[in-house]
Amino acid sequence: MTLASDPVWFITGCSTGFGRDLARLVLDRGWRVVATARDAARVADLVAGHEDRALALSLDVTDAPGIVQAVAAAEDRFGRIDVLVNNAGYGYQASVEEGQDDAIRAQFDTNVFGLFALTRAVLPVMRTRRQGHIVNFTSVAGLVGFPGSGYYAASKHAVEGWSDSLAAEVGPLGVAVTCVEPGPFRTDWAGRSLQQTPVTIVDYADTAGARMDSTKGYSGEQPGDPVRAGEAIIAAAEMTDPPRHLVLGKFGYDAVTARLKERLSSIESLRDQAIGADFPA
């Protein structure tokens, strides 16, 4: 896949954090961007002065008719979408036992089903042109499960598995798929975008409870720079063969590589049992 010389980026969740910084970087390069947020007024300043290259749209990814309208507006304005960045989402923390059904389902509606729906709406645009790049923000939690983040990790693991299948289907059609897996970055994720169900069962105080407390207290001190992350995402999009995974930050890199090595070692240690489960040749 080769990125178009004047690409059109469609980015969700641009009111704050990764989405906002990435939209700015795209505009700084002279490219075109559709910047979306639940309230378009919150991204109006991004568009100001770039009206010829930027479009601000209200979009709630859980609103199916709104998705159709937003994609149509982007096509009408720019004629195509080259890079879709599924960034909108939020965190929910609880011990697994204390997770609340309505909170769990609401998170999946945004982090999973909304992402699925928007991608389905954009795919015909890319498939017809045999060109495009879908960038799905997951998390280190999409590859590693941490205490207190079981349901958040489940939503991100779901996107990772789905992205594997998506890549197998659209790769031959010229469409690349990348999952971005950030560790702790200095956005307002822990301050504004994180919901929690407090741990009240004492047995989980030292696992889920301790990690949930540290997550909230860590806000504003995370080592990751979201602008540098945006630069890394753009660099990946410019590659002839974009990566399937883009882990960002030292914490994320160390956690993911350690977990994958541990998992592979465990699986390989049971090779005989795995192969022995087949019918005899």
- The string of pLDDT tens digits covering residues 38-97 is 999 999 999 999 999 999 999 999 999 999 999 999 999 999 999 999 999 999 999 999
Q: Which residues are bridge partners to 8 per DSSP?
A: 32
Query: What would the pLDDT profile of 253-277 be if each residue is shown by its tens digit?
Result: 999 999 999 999 999 999 999 999 9
- At 7 the three-state DSSP class reads coil
Q: Which residue among 151, 152, 218, 253 is the active-site one?
A: 152
Q: Which two tokens stand for residue 71?
A: 């994609």
Using an 8 Å Cβ cutoff, are 82 and 133 in contact?
yes
The CA distances from residue 176 to 135, 136, 200, 230, 248, in Å, are 8, 11, 44, 18, 19
User: What average pLDDT does the segment 141-166 reach?
Assistant: 97
Q: How many other CB atoms are found less than 10 A from the CB of residue 190?
A: 21
Query: What would the pLDDT profile of 101-123 be if each residue is shown by its tens digit?
Result: 999 999 999 999 999 999 999 99
Q: Which residues are bridge partners to 180 per DSSP?
A: 137, 246
Q: Where are the alpha helices (DSSP H) in 110-149?
A: 115-129
Residues 6+ apart with CB under 8 A from 125: 71, 75, 80, 81, 132
List phi, psi (to 5°) of 147: -60, 140
pLDDT of residue 184: 83
Domains assigned to the chain: 8-272 (3.40.50.720)
Query: What would the pLDDT profile of 214-237 be if each residue is shown by its tens digit?
Result: 887 666 678 778 999 999 999 999
Q: Which two tokens stand for residue 135?
A: 């960038």
Percentage of the residues of the chain whose pLDDT score is greater than 90: 89
pLDDT of residue 190: 57
Query: What would the pLDDT profile of 166-209 be if each residue is shown by its tens digit?
Result: 999 999 999 999 999 998 888 765 556 789 999 999 999 999 99
pLDDT of residue 277: 97
Catalytic (active site) residue 152: yes
Using an 8 Å Cβ cutoff, are 155 and 170 in contact?
no
pLDDT at 239 over 60: yes
Q: What is the DSSP letter of 279?
A: P
pLDDT of residue 95: 97
Q: Which residues are bridge partners to 182 per DSSP?
A: 248
* pTM of the full structure: 0.94
pLDDT of residue 192: 65
Q: What is the overall mean pLDDT for the chain?
A: 94
Q: Which two tokens stand for residue 66?
A: 């709104």
Percentage of the residues of the chain whose pLDDT score is greater than 70: 96
pLDDT of residue 53: 96
Using an 8 Å Cβ cutoff, are 94 and 60 in contact?
no
Instruction: Indicate the Cα dihedral angle 84, 82, 238, 134, nearest 10°.
Output: 30
pLDDT at 20 over 60: yes
pLDDT of residue 218: 67
